[in-house]
Copies of this chain bind each other. A is one copy, B any other.
Amino acid sequence: MAKVAIVYHSGFGHTKVLAEAVARGASSVDGTVVDLISVADAEAKADTINAADAIIFGSPTYMGSVSGPFKTWADTTAKVWFGQGWKDKIAAGFTNSSGPSGDKFSTIAYLWTLAMQHSMIWVSQGVMVGTKQGDVTLNRLSSWGGVMATSENAAPGESNPSKDDQASGFGLGARVATLASKLKG
């Protein structure tokens, strides 16, 4: 039974919609326990995160990287870093912003950098750009290191971020849960 924690920040709710899609994807893998944790609660839920087999990081891209609240939480993980408590856990990441490119690569690269400091194992998105899956298109934005989404400047909802990008998020959650289960043996 693999445990997957998703730790995310969402300023206006769009990244939360994406995080929920990631959580559904992880939950779709039999025997996976999924914890969806806002960074606001993440210090209080440190035991849950520390007990996970995989941690998926999510943040909007603000001014070219993860948001201030996400980074502030990341800094608090220096405590567990000191003892390398997340060593060999699986990691992955996702981000959302309004533009097609919009420095989202910088955010994903930072999430990888954070995971590396924690001696984790990083999982790629694992989907060819523009892969059709029923009605949706996976990896629409040609991202590889993690899932990128775009959202309209409107209220978050079931199509904002787009169903395409939510499906990409679902796929990442499922991919991480599958690998976590396999590594747990």
Given known A-B contacts A71-B68, A119-B124, A122-B122, A103 and B63 have beta carbons under 8 A apart: no
In the assembled complex, how far is the CB of residue A129 from the closest CB belonging to chain B, in whole angstroms? 5
Q: Are A106 and B100 in contact (CB under 8 A)?
A: no
Q: Are B71 and A121 in contact (CB under 8 A)?
A: no
Given known A-B contacts A71-B66, A75-B62, A183-B183, A125 and B119 have beta carbons under 8 A apart: yes
Q: Are A103 and B144 in contact (CB under 8 A)?
A: yes
A72 to chain B: which residues have CB within 8 Å?
68-69, 71-72
Copies of chain A in the complex? 4
Give the interface segment out of A18-26, A45-53, A108-116: A108-116
Q: Are B145 and A101 in contact (CB under 8 A)?
A: no
In the assembled complex, how far is the CB of residue A184 from the closest CB belonging to chain B, in whole angstroms? 10
Q: Are A144 and B122 in contact (CB under 8 A)?
A: no
A120 to chain B: which residues have CB within 8 Å?
124
The residue of chain B having its C-beta at the shortest distance from the C-beta of A122 within the complex is B122
Q: Are A101 and B148 in contact (CB under 8 A)?
A: yes
The residue of chain B having its C-beta at the shortest distance from the C-beta of A82 within the complex is B128
